[in-house]
Amino acid sequence: MKITVIQGPNLNMLGVREQGIYGNMKLENIHNQMEQIAKQNNIEIDFFQSNLEGEIVDRIQECLGDSDGIIINPAAYTHTSIAIRDAIAAVSIPTIEVHLSNIHQREEFRHTSLIAPVCAGQILGMGPYGYHLAMIGMMQILGEIEALKQARQKAKASKEQ
């Protein structure tokens, strides 16, 4: 099982930028915590961060046939990027959207996510712990998908006998 974590613009500045909104934990520390959860659960995890929309779209597309799930914080692109939304819809891989802050408590232009409608779930306002919750949620989703596959295989095998 493999999960790809995609981080959008300015998340490389965590721990430095607007600590009152985003906290003081650096992105590297968040990734280290996610890596520990992945190791404990026998999951391969890959991290990617870009400030460029096209690079994020490319990375989502590269997940097709390579990753079982995507955890994404599209950051400011949440509210503006039809391209990222369309890439997630195109690959049809379970995706969870994460935001450190509660976008609904912020400026009005941040209240709408173009990404959420094509995601399995959205976690926001939990700070760095939101990534932990996303890992748990993704493991649940992927576990359910695997159980469904096994049930279908069993049913198919029974019909063939």
pLDDT exceeds 90 at position 12: yes
Query: Active-site residue among 22, 77, 131, 132?
Result: 22
CATH code of the domain covering residue 81: 3.40.50.9100
> 24 pLDDT exceeds 80?
no
What pTM did the predictor assign? 0.91
Q: Residue 161: pLDDT band by 50, 70, 90 thresholds?
A: confident
Angle 26-122-49 (CA atoms, 0-180°, nearest 5)?
A: 35
Q: How far apart are the first and last CA of the chain?
A: 31
Q: Is 131 among the residues known to form the active site? A: no
Helix (H, G, I), strand (E, B) or coil at 41: coil
Number of H helices, E strands in the chain: 5, 5
Looking at the structure of the chain, the number of domains it has is: 1
Instruction: Report pLDDT digits (tens) over 55-81.
Output: 999 999 999 999 999 999 999 999 999
The share of the chain scoring above pLDDT 70, in percent, equals 98
Q: Which domain holds residue 89?
A: 2-160
Catalytic residue check, 99:
yes
Of residues 31, 77, 79, 99, which has the active-site annotation? 99
Decide: 139 and 43 in contact? Cβ < 8 Å: yes
